Amino acid sequence: MKKADVVQFFARLAEDNPHPETELEYVNAFTLLVAVVLSAQMTDAGVNKATRRLFAQADTPEKMLALGEDALKEHLKTINFYNTKARNVLALSRALIEQHGSEIPADRALLEALPGVGRKTANVVLNCAFGRETFAVDTHIFRVCNRTRLAPGKTPLAVELKLEKAVPEPFRLHAHHWLILHGRYTCKARTPECWRCPVADLCPFKPKTPPPEARKVRSKQAA
């Protein structure tokens, strides 16, 4: 995608949603970290449903450890792989207390050294908790960047590195939120809603998906 098109791409997404935010619910940097760890192979809505009561009881590493494994698993039983994730949450809580004075480190390498924390999780925390210009490439961003040719790549890391080079100011801080939300609600995996996409004319994806009304007409004609 040309530089001018990239500017237009983000300018239009920003116009639709000037102040995008993560849809994960959290009360502080610690609960944000926990929520992102739990979100692997889960929807944000599913994570929020499980964590509302949890974060009301345990919003610090100390409180999370005091809760204990059995009680934590009870909170997380609707989360995919909740047994492993519960152990990781307790282990990272212990590591935060012992190694970081219960504070969330504002450093990618230190975050990735915590149990259950990968690059994507670290990038989300750095962006949302510390205002860093990071690009957390999930399945939505990976799809959007390849489909639109904004930052095509064969791996999430490849896409992330291309986004680092491609995204200009003043869009860098919120870019990954715009891309996630665009992929989640418009540029969907199976049936992208191209008829209402604000950047459809900048996207080379073909064929463009027609609006529902047009699809109904075609279906009747075929019958």
Q: Please enumerate, by residue number, every residue annotated as part of a binding site for [4Fe-4S] cluster.
A: 187, 194, 197, 203
Q: Which of 2, 5, 70, 120 is catalytic?
A: 120
Phi, psi of 110 (to 5 degrees): -70, -40
Residue 147 near residue 205 (C-beta atoms within 8 A): yes
Other C-beta atoms lying within 10 Å of the C-beta of residue 158: 16
Residue 27 near residue 54 (C-beta atoms within 8 A): no
**C-alpha distances in angstroms, 34 versus 2, 87, 180, 200, 217?**
38, 12, 19, 36, 47
Phi, psi of 143 (to 5 degrees): -65, -50
Residue 149 in tokens: 């040719």
Residue 44 in tokens: 């944000």
Active site (annotated) includes residue 120: yes
Q: Which of 59, 138, 154, 216 is catalytic?
A: 138
Binding-site residue positions: 187, 194, 197, 203
In terms of Cβ atoms closer than 10 Å to its own Cβ (0-12, 13-18, 19+), residue 113 is middle
Give which of 177, 173, 141 is closest to 157, Cα–Cα: 141
* Active-site residue list: 120, 138
